[in-house]
Structure 1
């Protein structure tokens, strides 16, 4: 596998005897190249694994852009968790993603953020204002839109990732990282049409998303095409520039360009199911229908075309000829060019080869009527998107004519949008509805009208075999070797208890006048008390026979506790009724009274009875049961060299201590709503099913694992080479409210409202049938490595001996939460805001109250927090597994303004205490460098320590401090000007010249459009002994071409322009000749010179004695030869690809 060859740029070590000075040389810029090593090839099959979730990182590196400060890797990676049924293929194929550039993606929660925030509804008083606020959250597009939750903004860019919310015009990151976000709107608001996001990392690097510095627009916007007013809003801001922290020169910016595909539409699929008529009864069973999108929104899409950087450009060639997604490009080629003046030279190139998954089969609950709209569900473009998916089969290196080949599991994928998916969206064996069997109820004030049944017949459980459909199984590498991936379903072990069931009952029977036994009017009662009652098993069976006459003593009836059930009318008919009741483990009374007469039936008189039946558990059997959850985990990775049938290396993975986060059963929910406009109406079910129901668990894996063992298996020799055990901290998701947790939403009503009797239902009755759940997502706190044990193979087969262990401890430095409001209607047509204002008049009158009980609400939470490592204990063991050495490292976080490590203490095996104290700009802002420190804070350059102190057993041994300056000498940039260090004694502000070790005398500038801008290149610095060192920059000021020791920059400045001009546009021989002229002109200086092949590497290094070392590369940019000044080969590298 080809891995782009890049040179490590390190500063040539300054030969000084002072040990303290050697500690600060790391603060010098890393400019000069040393001799490059041979181009390295990534070892085949060694793919990193996210052990706590079971995902393997399958990634193919293509190229890495490296400038003075910035690194942008370009690769293509595969999602090993499996293919979700409704997933759309990206422009590099189903399951694959090209990492080149980046974006900020808006995940809308509620309505698109408008900068107004989310109101606090945790404890609402009964006022007109609060009702209006609730209503406008329930139906935000009807009147005055009020948001219910903060949108999520997800960042993915080179060296930058995270999720943030925009609260009070400030970004709040889920992990509370020190990243700053600025918008293009006044007061730093983030609105629906905010065009630019400028995000600054904690090292000061600036990422621009959306609108570029040149006005180029790289946003994706959704345009509402439905009849309802909804605002257009930006969904994605694409990366336009990365600006280094220490340069304002346009030459140092990496920029990204895109092409626009305008007026595109979604690819419609079924989004869920609902009951057609929820007025269910014994004569009207629930019938389900598919939910089709009402109208697809139009949007514009952006596709990357080029990345521009100093001395190079990468071009992305794509075509609009896909068989699956007609409004999307597929990537055909990536070409990397070096630029030297007007000369454009191809350095590397990759071609992408595709096929298609042909999909077939699957069930839909209902069909869709065709219309003339070309973007409707049955339009050919949408049918194509459901029938096919782009499949990547090869990546071809066009320079070397070698390739990566990808092979996939061959089970045919079902059609997108069908019901063949589990609760998590992965393919399963479902042949029924999308809805799993779900109980739905009709609740009436008259218990005899209650009705319970089941809606849905779908099987949404995970299927391990079908979950693997179409998954990547094999990669063949250019060298001829290949890797084979084996997967298994995520799972957990649950102790399933099966009770031993016993049926029980209690009956009361009463007889009327005229019976054979000469019974007269009679009453009777009994008390029963279930033990170990089985939930859901309780029933009341009530029977009234017919009669001819009712006495004047009373009305015939039966009672269950305080509930009364009267006989049917007229007398001449009888009836039998069954009602569900939960008896629990409490005492209940059954009673009956029969006052009727008539020679009827077998007894010759009327008979009335009531029977309570239920089930009790008389014991149970508990069995550990495997439960599958959505998504795959890696089981093994086998790597072959292409020459032998047995694998060269095999990694096997075992998982324990499962932590299921999203269990089976979250595919649908039911709640109740009154059938009419008051509580005297029956309560009918509102039923909802979606492909993947997100109860604030969307960014969570389905399961995490507390222990994962990686075994290094030697298949050829039938033995293992050792193993590594990883232990992770499992954090369960917190359920914020649901009926089983006893934490229900609140009904908005007057505290003076009194529920009337009769057949009226309390407003809260609907909540008893609410199955909706909501979780507090704490993923920032999840998956911390708490222990790692490394073992070698023991003497006996399948035995191991521990070699090393590491134990970590953590603390939560900070945590917070944001409100996520949820508002439901209790009635089918809620009262509009401002209707019936008399409701809220004082004194309160229930007769004028039209708003109580109309809505109910709850407050969920999204969680943020900062978790930090506080302690690490590392232990080594001998052959007898006895600890030999131990090192304890403690980390301190003493400033909550930045929450960075300020103190590190190490207790080594000699019991010595080694402490390092670090100070950052926020720690030093009150010193004599207040202005400079505050500017660093303002520019978010806060992750680098300014001051470092070291101690041994609490005795200070050294200290170093960096002095910053913004002046003409630094190109008007805030840059390090001096580095001071001392041995033992403490130096404080102001600085002492006696302790100055390095003085950066002069930095470079560029003139762009008549404006002078600093670029951060050091032109001259002096050492402690006063010796000046000058640097000349070439190749558009991206590489140092000469290092001149014992000469100031003013002494060499006359030669600079010519050397830079030749390096920018001329040839290497001319440049070497010109640098030899420089060498001869300053005989007292020690001069080292460098030439380069742009985007490939160093070409020559000539030392102060004039000895030249040359480096030769092949057409793919791989190092072939290293030769000395006489042309003798010092080293040679050979590359053998399989053709």
Structure 2
């Protein structure tokens, strides 16, 4: 089973309340949630780190209208540990005028491992000026009555302040290794993860309670006498009471460390605003922790090292004001303020190198100063009687309280860009280089133009290149005030231009001019697409074109109470883009495939209503006039201890006043249709606000001044975001609008699931709050942290002879998210149940206890299969500890039916890092393995033992293979001779890697000393395969040529013997075949053979006739499948042979072919495929289910029989394809059900069902 991703959103845990002279700013820091306006009031992560958060909040999905645009670059790997270096594009990042580009250009994010992003909530003890009482430090949600009416009223009356000790109330968003989610500290001070993904992650923190010093790059100073503070310049940042290191451990026991080094933690510093302040000198917060290591439970790891460079700045401009009358209840400054520029300063980290035991990746950076920057003009002086000085940092950006940077110049303040990275082996020999090229103009944002993949040198070569094209419409300058309410370009706003505060007061308080302003914040479909990605061209010459369109919605989610309101006048455009069309071309102007997307309800019935649901409505103006009562805690003013009479408040802002109600992506879609070129289509339906997954009521709420306004409606209720976005159904229709397949998904619906949550209390000042009139509110709500697992998938196939329904149901362990059982019905109508046991099921076993203590909770110890209530099979894989802190499989036991439980395979020897050295089947000889660096297989010895082999070879020489590679062949040859003296029947296969350690073996020598030699080109691609005798080459077996569009054909130089020329181009005329067959496969399933084939082009085709033979001479027609007739899109077909031949002269081999017949009876045959029954030595897979991060192992007597392995997910998508290998790394696969297809050298195929945790 697989889960569709859905997004999550940030949630405020605790805010603070305390009365002192700078109340407004203090409260503002707690009020705003994550959104485009967050940097006005909340300390935010850098643009680079925040970009990772976008992929978590607005994930790739039909639900969000976001396409998957991914460029794989390189995989750093050692054993089961890996880091995928890749580029990902997101249209929500690359199309906002005031969003600064990241390290690889506008809209692109470079995945280099992972990051944890902090959303700061609440205050910390030292963030208070002198003479201000520090709030008490206690957990307000620990009490069982934490949300009762009495408790909430007590908070309101006392205006309770809760100290954010060690990030207790913060929210952390993680993104690493394909995993995304959030974690919080619950009321028991334990971390809880919130993610729809099926893995239990252990979160641990290492706090720094006392001051820790961080050295920043030295900055030149331009001292100014008018702001002299007497504080000497320093390049040291001091921090205390913060998390220095996070450790996240996955369910396989692999530890991911974030931070823990001074250079891997990014800091953010908010600047002052007009009438604002800095809290003491310490308003600097760590906001991002980058991945610094991945460590196996067996002790080996991958390290990531970082370096720090000079700070850079981003800014925003806004107008925001509040006027309270009578004036005695207002703030000290109760007059209009005018336009404000607010800046944020970031101390960035850049990845320097990734180091594994076998390789290193080095990253090269340079300042990205050839791009559009901010044009800063001083609008307000930072302090009275201090004029603006051009080029001075604090006079324009108000960073006066940071002594180490206060007088630094502002010129050249840009982040770095990544120029290239180089991959080398452990001894520093270069193997690969990836280069990035960008725009180079000071008038445009930094955009990625190409990615060039180079080999072992920079000498002229055929260079595979990705190139990128963007919408030519340019985004405006920064702070141009031409954004819609969601931050996207609309080219409309001429209203934030004046420096006169009265201008804005008059504009907002006059209904006519206010409406003109509101109209200027609406989207414009002609400008939203400015600079969005339009085209990706691949090294092969093919390319993909992307067409986006504006979001639109048909209804709006309302809150307090939860409801959905239909638009009165149909669909309405809103800000941002969704994908409209994706077109793939295999060469110039030749469209191979195309997908169009329609966001309509009831699309199959020609529905025209938008399926979009808007979940956030911005508000810019508020007004009240009337009688009010004093807040619950009210001290009054001298001479007026009790408030009496009316109050008038006027509030307005160019940024939405209700920004704290912004819920991640502002629009999502309940139904999306994906239409192919030929008119066939699929309809996807998702959980959303309008179909039963709106938010639940909050636990409680108390507020002052409820008669003034329902201010709490911008606070979150008990959000159901954890389930919104999960797919409900998927329907497939042909071009005649006939339903062909329907898949319905049902998820965890246990009513007790809501008991898994994090409690939170949110305190927010009401809009009429002032220092002299502290009107507050408190909201108590829950953050749900349960696992919304896929419980049942029911698939119906609609056939002319009757419908076929298949259903699969899964159960999971509530505490660790591991699958407990899976139930389905086989072809005979019998119920099949597969159940699993894990370490936690063996509570008294010392090894299980030790594994659980290391969070190695996912290895499967037992798999039991029952059919119709009778046990069909039992597979046990007990673990043991061959050396300290190493826990590995000990053996594989199998019981078939009522038979005895038999040991099928024993793992008898491991090295100190858990690498298998020896295994044995009962009654058989031992198999031994020799490794270099516990990673490269150097030799396989069958028929000897580990002690004999160890005495015959210098293992230390093998362990440093790259250093001793010239001597290794002689070492291996000497080992052959020594072992032959004592074990004459031993079979030895050796592998050498001279110069090819990161590519693959350059020679494999079998027990008869016959060799296959492999030659690779400068990019590490296989170039040729040659026969050999020992280390000597002889005849050429195969040669491979890799040609790229626009590059010279260079095949002839690759052949060591003879010449290989490119074939001439052949054009098909009118007599073209009726069908272009993409694939044809025969798959053995239980007692049947399933035939699957697909076509990409059909013209005048009539039918497919399926034929079977046992000798390849006499063919029997089994059936007929109708074809499409006319089509230029891909189509898939299937046919089942329910009575294949078993045994007999053919020894169970069944041959199949397709007869593809045209309407005029002309025909052609496909290639022949086979399915074999009763073949000895069939392949078995273990463990099953595959645990997260584990290896899927192929158990077979003869690996040479296997040609390739493919893995398909439950939707039929190919997720893995590779040549024959005894072990397959499945870490990239999401949790769910997969079909493994094994293709043998004779062309036959077997299928195996595997569950991935």
Tell me the TM-score range normalised by the shorter chain: 0.5 to 0.7
Q: String of CA shifts for 1:369-416, please: whole Å, max 9, x gaps.
A: xxxxxxxxxxxxxxxxxxx52122222234443422221112221232
Matches within 5 A, 1:322-361: 322-323=369-370, 324=372, 326-340=412-426, 342-356=427-441, 358=443
| Aligned counterpart, 2:308 | 260
| Aligned counterpart, 1:727 | 685
Q: Is the 8 A contact 1:348 1:1116 kept in 2?
A: no
- State how far apart, in whole Å, the 2-side matches of 1:959 and 1:737 are: 47
Matches within 5 A, 1:935-974: 935-966=850-881, 969-974=882-887
The 1:147/1:1073 distance shift into structure 2, 3 A limit, reads closer
Match of 2:449 among 365, 385, 393: 393
| Aligned counterpart, 1:1096 | 999
Give 1 or 2: higher strand fraction: 1
| Aligned counterpart, 1:12 | none
5+ long unaligned stretches in structure 2: 1-58, 127-136, 211-238, 272-276, 328-333, 374-411, 456-461, 498-504, 558-565, 602-610, 631-635, 1048-1253
| Aligned counterpart, 1:65 | 76
Q: CA deviation at 1:466?
A: 1.3
Q: String of CA shifts for 1:703-725, please: whole Å, max 9, x gaps.
A: 22222222221xxxxx44x3222
Match of 1:185 among 207, 223, 226: 207
1:204 to 2:253 alignment = yes
Q: CA deviation at 1:455?
A: 5.1
- State how far apart, in whole Å, the 2-side matches of 1:404 and 1:127 are: 58
Query: Tell me, what secondary structure is at the counterpart of 1:782?
Result: coil
- TM-score of the superposed pair, with normalisation by structure 2: 0.61
Q: CA deviation at 1:424?
A: 1.5
Query: Tell me, what secondary structure is at the counterpart of 2:915?
Result: strand
Q: String of CA shifts for 1:212-263, please: whole Å, max 9, x gaps.
A: 5xxx641113357754235543211111001123x21xxx31111111125x
Match of 1:641 among 582, 586, 594: 586
| Aligned counterpart, 1:468 | 529
| Aligned counterpart, 1:680 | 644
Query: Tell me, what secondary structure is at the counterpart of 1:390?
Result: coil
| Aligned counterpart, 1:1110 | 1013
| Aligned counterpart, 1:753 | none
User: What is the aligned length?
Assistant: 833
Matches within 5 A, 1:305-316: 305-316=352-363
- State how far apart, in whole Å, the 2-side matches of 1:408 and 1:288 are: 42
| Aligned counterpart, 1:32 | none
Q: String of CA shifts for 1:75-115, please: whole Å, max 9, x gaps.
A: 11111235122211101111111111211110123446999
Matches within 5 A, 1:399-548: 399=455, 400-433=462-495, 457-458=517-518, 459-494=520-555
- State how far apart, in whole Å, the 2-side matches of 1:943 and 1:134 are: 46
| Aligned counterpart, 2:927 | 1029
- State how far apart, in whole Å, the 2-side matches of 1:984 and 1:421 are: 68
Q: CA deviation at 1:877?
A: 3.6
Match of 1:705 among 657, 669, 672: 669
| Aligned counterpart, 1:859 | 780
Q: CA deviation at 1:345?
A: 2.3
- State how far apart, in whole Å, the 2-side matches of 1:302 and 1:257 are: 10
| Aligned counterpart, 1:660 | 613
Query: Tell me, what secondary structure is at the counterpart of 2:848?
Result: helix
Query: Tell me, what secondary structure is at the counterpart of 1:867?
Result: coil
Cα RMSD for the two superposed structures = 3.9
- State how far apart, in whole Å, the 1-side matches of 2:654 and 2:567 are: 33
Q: CA deviation at 1:1100?
A: 1.9
Q: CA deviation at 1:775?
A: 4.7
| Aligned counterpart, 1:240 | 292
1:818 to 2:759 alignment = yes
Q: String of CA shifts for 1:940-968, please: whole Å, max 9, x gaps.
A: 111232111111111012212222222xx
Q: String of CA shifts for 1:788-813, please: whole Å, max 9, x gaps.
A: 223444xxxxx244443322211245
Query: Tell me, what secondary structure is at the counterpart of 2:819?
Result: coil
Match of 1:134 among 151, 159, 163: 159
Q: Is the 8 A contact 2:121 2:171 kept in 1?
A: yes
Q: String of CA shifts for 1:476-500, please: whole Å, max 9, x gaps.
A: 222222221111111122599xxxx
- State how far apart, in whole Å, the 1-side matches of 2:111 and 2:125 are: 28
| Aligned counterpart, 1:868 | 789
- State how far apart, in whole Å, the 1-side matches of 2:539 and 2:767 are: 64
Q: CA deviation at 1:173?
A: 1.4
Query: Tell me, what secondary structure is at the counterpart of 1:910?
Result: coil
1:78 to 2:62 alignment = no
1:995 to 2:1042 alignment = no
1:888 to 2:807 alignment = yes
Matches within 5 A, 1:257-336: 257-262=305-310, 264=311, 266-275=313-322, 289-290=337-338, 292=340, 296=343, 298-323=345-370, 324=372, 326-336=412-422
Query: Tell me, what secondary structure is at the counterpart of 1:922?
Result: helix
5+ long unaligned stretches in structure 1: 1-47, 138-143, 281-285, 359-387, 436-441, 443-449, 497-620, 714-718, 749-762, 794-798, 832-850, 988-993, 1006-1014
- State how far apart, in whole Å, the 1-side matches of 2:768 and 2:740 are: 67
- State how far apart, in whole Å, the 1-side matches of 2:584 and 2:897 are: 54
Q: CA deviation at 1:1028?
A: 1.9
- State how far apart, in whole Å, the 2-side matches of 1:923 and 1:1069 are: 50
Q: String of CA shifts for 1:3-61, please: whole Å, max 9, x gaps.
A: xxxxxxxxxxxxxxxxxxxxxxxxxxxxxxxxxxxxxxxxxxxxx96222110111111
Match of 2:702 among 746, 758, 762: 746
Pick the structure with greater CA Rg: 1
| Aligned counterpart, 1:909 | 827
Q: Is the 8 A contact 1:735 1:775 kept in 2?
A: yes
Of 657-666 and 624-633, more deviation after overlay is shown by 657-666
Q: Is the 8 A contact 2:1026 2:1034 kept in 1?
A: yes
Query: Tell me, what secondary structure is at the counterpart of 2:748?
Result: strand
Q: String of CA shifts for 1:311-355, please: whole Å, max 9, x gaps.
A: 211111111242446444433433333324x34223233233333
Q: CA deviation at 1:309?
A: 1.3
Query: Tell me, what secondary structure is at the counterpart of 2:876?
Result: strand
- State how far apart, in whole Å, the 2-side matches of 1:175 and 1:778 are: 12
Q: CA deviation at 1:460?
A: 2.0
Q: Is the 8 A contact 1:671 1:770 kept in 2?
A: no
The 1:432/1:298 distance shift into structure 2, 3 A limit, reads closer
| Aligned counterpart, 2:1094 | none
| Aligned counterpart, 2:190 | 170
- State how far apart, in whole Å, the 2-side matches of 1:661 and 1:954 are: 49
| Aligned counterpart, 2:709 | 767
Q: Is the 8 A contact 1:273 1:688 kept in 2?
A: yes
Query: Tell me, what secondary structure is at the counterpart of 1:87?
Result: coil
Query: Tell me, what secondary structure is at the counterpart of 1:781?
Result: coil
Of 807-816 and 764-773, more deviation after overlay is shown by 764-773
Q: Is the 8 A contact 1:354 1:394 kept in 2?
A: no
Q: CA deviation at 1:116?
A: 5.0
Q: Is the 8 A contact 1:148 1:820 kept in 2?
A: no
Q: CA deviation at 1:468?
A: 0.6
Query: Tell me, what secondary structure is at the counterpart of 2:363?
Result: strand
The 1:1068/1:974 distance shift into structure 2, 3 A limit, reads closer
- State how far apart, in whole Å, the 1-side matches of 2:798 and 2:811 are: 28
Query: Tell me, what secondary structure is at the counterpart of 1:1124?
Result: strand
- State how far apart, in whole Å, the 1-side matches of 2:728 and 2:161 are: 46
- State how far apart, in whole Å, the 2-side matches of 1:343 and 1:1072 are: 22
Q: Is the 8 A contact 1:409 1:471 kept in 2?
A: yes
| Aligned counterpart, 2:1063 | none
- TM-score of the superposed pair, with normalisation by structure 1: 0.67
- State how far apart, in whole Å, the 2-side matches of 1:800 and 1:175 are: 37
Query: Tell me, what secondary structure is at the counterpart of 2:429?
Result: strand
- State how far apart, in whole Å, the 2-side matches of 1:1062 and 1:821 are: 57
